[in-house]
Structure 1
């Protein structure tokens, strides 16, 4: 969840208040409530202050337009922010450590650095609440949590340094919640402690809403139904194949048993046969399926999604779905093995040999 905080103001009158005349509106002065309150809330694992503000960017006296300044406390953000490991050349904490080592440090997007030929060590001025603040570029990263570099470049800096140079402005509070923890009790606790919350955004509710979207449910329903039908047909075909295969080889099994092959050896032979035929086919099916997914699933993106999707599209295999597939395949193999055991136990050697003599 997120909540903006900041309360109190300077001056006597409100803008446009009766009797204010043509006097300029008083400048707002924000007072920061104690942040420890958020860490002590029930159900909260970690909390972090995150300031986001549109700012003008100047490098070497040249204005480079607007960007989104994000002020953070690096240690808190390391516990709360979610990073995808394959998006960064090195571990994300090494970038956060740079913020801790240099007070004036700023991390910029890779695309912005390449476009304007900015490298680590360059100076940069970013306007915060009308106050120009000087920063030193320490690193460039392709992506950052909650930021979209294609829409607007981001600049990650130390929150305390920003507040040392510019007036305090309301910031967001990012909370890492424990499993099953609710947001409503937090708001009641904060209200009891006289901490006003401007807005609340619960990502978990958004995820639930997206999962219940009709289009998503329809696509997943069709895929699940197709999977169940194909599994059912494959299972029936597998069972029928083994049933008729074993029935047609009764004479062969009888002769082998009469020649001295034990029941255990005959069972092992058939299990190996099953593993080399069905097992090889199943292994090839898994391999070809994964390869096909990697090759063709990226084509499901539309032209617009390719440009705006952050982080970029990737193919993932959910461990839960993969586990269900393994269970289904295991049931199929066990069914075949059970049929095999039953058939061998019911096999009467003398009848099979006699049947062979009649033929």
Structure 2
């Protein structure tokens, strides 16, 4: 276990300017501990999420609210929001406005992020969750056994890694990734075969040209360099255009492959990610194709006999 943080999730009646806007989720946290445990996507926030957590430490009654609520009710930093619990009403001062927060879904229910100790100062102690940041290969079972031996009762235990494994085995997800993987493999095989055949017939049909160039005094090294440059310019342009077009097409069409039941409520929003490992695999395939083409070129020029090529040109 690398870090742990207390997290209180409670429901309350959110009141703005004396009017209730319905039930909301109150998330009580310790800002420093949460910064070590919570996972944030930097591209979802106007500034780094740690700035919002730092603002929670400015005053004990600080609170962070979602952007949708702030825009709908014209709230700004410094305004007051009240939350009614079963045991009383608590006032909060807005110190941050952001679109998303880990584990919260703003379209379903408004949320308020505040200091856990401030809630416990105003209300009786309520059960809270403990979020753990685990090492990649760490097991949950030993932690549960240790806590039970210490006499700590656990209401439930959730492991995000188990949930990810379960989701990865979903038939719809497997079908989508299977189609994409099969399409990639077929494209690679066809492209490699076409590339090799192109260079084979191209070199075979230019034997006379190579013979004439060699008879004019062009060395094998110069001829090889010239053909390598030709290969680089033709194949390099195709590779560059392929990468650009592929990324553009991916950004346009991959969002249509979402497997969520309701795409409109997907939180956080769907994002197309170009993993460096996948891109490197593609470059390996392209590099292998270029190597095969260069090897065919080198072997063909090494086997070229000038007098036979020139004689063949005279016969034609």
- Normalised by the size of structure 1, how large is the TM-score? 0.84
Q: How far off its partner does 1:272 sit? A: 0.9
Which residue pairs with 1:190 in the alignment? 147
Aligned partners of 1:115 and 1:303: how far apart in 2?
A: 27
Q: How far off its partner does 1:302 sit? A: 8.4
Q: How far off its partner does 1:355 sit? A: 2.1
Q: Tell whether 2:134 aligns with 1:134.
A: no
* Superposition pairs of residues 235-254 of structure 1, within 5 angstroms: 235-254=192-211
Deviation per residue, 1:146-195 (Å, 9 max, x gap): 00001100000011111111111110111111011111111111112221
* Contact preservation (8 Å) 1:129, 1:166: no
Moved more, 122-131 or 135-144: 122-131
Counterpart secondary structure, 2:84? strand
Which residue pairs with 1:305 in the alignment? 262
What stretches of structure 1 of length at least 5 have no aligned partner? Answer: 1-43
Which residue pairs with 2:117 in the alignment? 160
Which residue pairs with 1:285 in the alignment? 242
Give the count of matched residue pairs. Answer: 316
- Over the aligned positions, Cα root-mean-square deviation in angstroms equals 1.6
Aligned partners of 2:303 and 2:256: how far apart in 1?
A: 53
What stretches of structure 2 of length at least 5 have no aligned partner? Answer: none
Aligned partners of 1:330 and 1:149: how far apart in 2?
A: 47
Q: Tell whether 2:38 aligns with 1:91.
A: no
Which residue pairs with 2:12 in the alignment? 55
Which residue pairs with 2:163 in the alignment? 206
* Superposition pairs of residues 38-117 of structure 1, within 5 angstroms: 44-117=1-74
Which residue pairs with 2:273 in the alignment? 316
Moved more, 302-311 or 240-249: 302-311
* Contact preservation (8 Å) 1:129, 1:167: no
* Contact preservation (8 Å) 2:14, 2:22: yes
- Normalised by the size of structure 2, how large is the TM-score? 0.96
Aligned partners of 1:197 and 1:305: how far apart in 2?
A: 33
